Amino acid sequence: MSARADARFMARALALAAEGLGRTFPNPPVGAVFARGGRVVGEGFHRRAGAPHAEIEALRAAGGRVRGATLYVTLEPCAHHGRTPPCADALVGLGLRRVVVAMVDPNPRVRGRGIAKLRRAGIPVVVGPGADEARLLTAGYRSHVLRGRPLVTLKLATTLDGRIAAAGGDARWITGPTARRLAHGLRDVSDAVLVGAGTVRADDPRLTCRLPGGHHPVRIVLAGRALRLPARARVLARGGPPTWVIAPRGAPAARVAALRRRGVEVLLLPARRGRVPFAALVRLLGARDAVRVGGLAVAHVGPDLVLEGRFR
């Protein structure tokens, strides 16, 4: 096929991959398209960890019409056994004309092995079309497998004079409807959203995604050693998305136990001068397989400014 056709079908695969953002962690979002004779014969994307990978979803959708087809996939097919069998093995013997891969999987367990397996089976593999877009889609995954920490996105709104809240705390919004839709779009593609306990006390946010069909991220609250959180806070209510409260070690055992009885996961980390080091926080989130975290700027600074470090 021509480079123009490759770009068109890879663009479709990338659009499919984006459907999995915020839903597949710790796996990457991946899209796949089988094309033959200038037409799509099967397509799919990875929906969640443990579910079939994008290539298998597309293969099932194709219903046996893949002989002589080209597979477009946004990330190198896996070549190892995880929760599912290797996708590269499933592609061998199908009579594929070739495979076009946007980018090599940076995971040390894969990193070129899937491509090598396909080439050893006599299937031509082209790498590179759509690579820039694929790297953007997998930024969180790459951070997780290469650095052991999630991609952290800071959501920050300021007034023209450089403030993030009214001095008296009386202003509910300093942004408009468009900015708020973008904020909910960020939640939709994030594994978790993080705020400080001061924000919970002042604003009582739900931290859910209110877009139609949106994905609710895990809600993370950074609290001080005193664990001062309102008993009626909406993020602590049962029946909603999971809530994790992260606080310095030494928090009152009774308050920790009370939160845990409500189904809240309480995670205590070593503190430095009463604050949780940023490096320790992101290591913890990485160890718990968070890949993309959206952080809200702390608008209510006080004793619960418990995070120190730089976003980098």
Q: Please, which residues have CB within 8 angstroms of residue 126's CB and are 6 or more apart in sequence? A: 6, 98, 99, 100, 101
Phi-psi region of 209 (alpha: psi -120 to 50; beta: other; left: phi over 0): beta
The catalytically annotated residue of 55, 57, 76, 133 is: 55
Burial class (CB in 10 A: 0-12, 13-18, 19+), 157: middle
Q: Is 55 a catalytic residue?
A: yes
Q: What is 18-50 written as a DSSP string? A: HTTTTTSTTSPP-EEEEEETTEEEEEEE--STT
Is 92 buried (19+), middle (13-18) or exposed (0-12) by CB count in 10 A? Answer: middle
SS3 184: helix
Nearest to 193 by CA among 155, 142, 240: 155
Report the candidate in 298, 297, 290 with the shortest Cα–Cα distance to residue 151: 290
DSSP notation for 211-247? STTPPPPEEEEE--TT----TT-GGGSTTSS-EEEEE
Query: Residue type for 73, please?
Result: V
- CB contact at 8 A, 46 and 83: no
| Radius of gyration in angstroms for the set of CA atoms belonging to the chain, rounded to a whole number | 22
List phi, psi (to 5°) of 287.
-65, -25
Looking at the annotation, which residues are catalytic? Answer: 55
